[in-house]
Amino acid sequence: MALTDALKAEFDELCKKYPERRAGLIPALHRCQEELGGWLSPETITDCAEYFELEPVEVYSVASFYPMFFLSPVGQHVVSVCRNISCDLRGASEITKAAKEHTGAECGKSSEDGHFYLEEVECQGACTNAPMMVVDGKYHEDLEPADVARILGETR
């Protein structure tokens, strides 16, 4: 989707924080993903490139480096289950299994109805409250497998 005037105005403010405008790129890509359909489409990348006076490939190069950015469409609700050591030791694989069952999606894929996107992610920094998952940016910690259906059900 195309960059809106409202976002451009927001980026004008954002870039004032830095001596060089380009420093605003990653925060700007976050805002694009939030506002423009949940992923960074080629059109969004091209518009951002124009805004930041970069080549589209430079913006793509940056966006593709960071796991939080999606470069293809994803389901409406993003479910990220931590698979790193502290969560693994306390049953993360059972959380992933429950999430697969509830969403009907495989890891790295969206559900058929497009409602969910499911992924396993690396450490989210909530290790003392393992296992955990993130749903649409919100942390859910100290999980039992039985909690998963209830939490994901709240997105319906």
Partner 1 sequence: MTSHETYLLNRSKLADSHTLEVARADGAYGALRKVFETSMSPEDVVEEVKKSGLRGRGGAGFPTGLKWSFMPNHESDTRNRYMAVNADESEPGTCKDRVLLREDPHCLIEGCLIAAFAMRLDAVYVYVRGEYRLPYDRMQAALDEARAAGIIGDDVLGSGFSCEIHMHKGAGAYICGEETGLMESLEGKRGHPRPKPPFPAGFGLWGQPTTVNNVESIFNVPFILDRGADWFRTLGTESSPGNFLCGISGHVERPGVYEVPLGISARAIVEDLAGGIWKGRALKAWFPGGSSTGVLPADTLDTPMDHDSVKAAGSMFGTGAMIILDETASVVRSALVLARFYEHESCGQCSQCREGTEWLEQITDRMLSGQGKAGDVELLADLSNGMTPGKTICALSDAAAIPMLAALKHFRGEFEACIPTTAEAPV
According to CB under 8 A, which one of 22, 97, 109, 115 is a site residue for partner 1?
22
Is 23 near partner 1 (CB under 8 A)? Answer: yes
Q: Quote the CA–CA distance of 15 and 48 in Å, as a whole number.
A: 13
* Residue 61 binds partner 1 (CB under 8 A): yes
131: cis peptide before it, omega within 30°?
Answer: yes
Give the nearest distance from C-beta 149 to partner 1 in angstroms: 23
Asked whether 14 and 27 are in contact (CB, 8 A), the reply is yes
| Piece of 14-22, 96-104, 108-116, 145-153 that binds partner 1 (CB under 8 A) | 14-22
Residue 143: partners with Cβ closer than 8 Å, 6 or more residues away: 95, 131, 132, 133
Q: Return the residue of 6, 13, 17, 53 that touches partner 1, per CB under 8 A.
A: 17
Q: Phi and psi for 62 in degrees, rounded to 5?
A: -70, -50
Helix (H) or strand (E) holding 21: none
72 contributes a contact to partner 1 by CB under 8 A? no
For residue 123, state whether it binds partner 1 (rule: CB under 8 A): yes
**Which chain residues interact with partner 1 by CB under 8 A?**
17-20, 22-27, 29-30, 52, 61-62, 65-69, 83-86, 88-90, 121-130, 134, 137-139
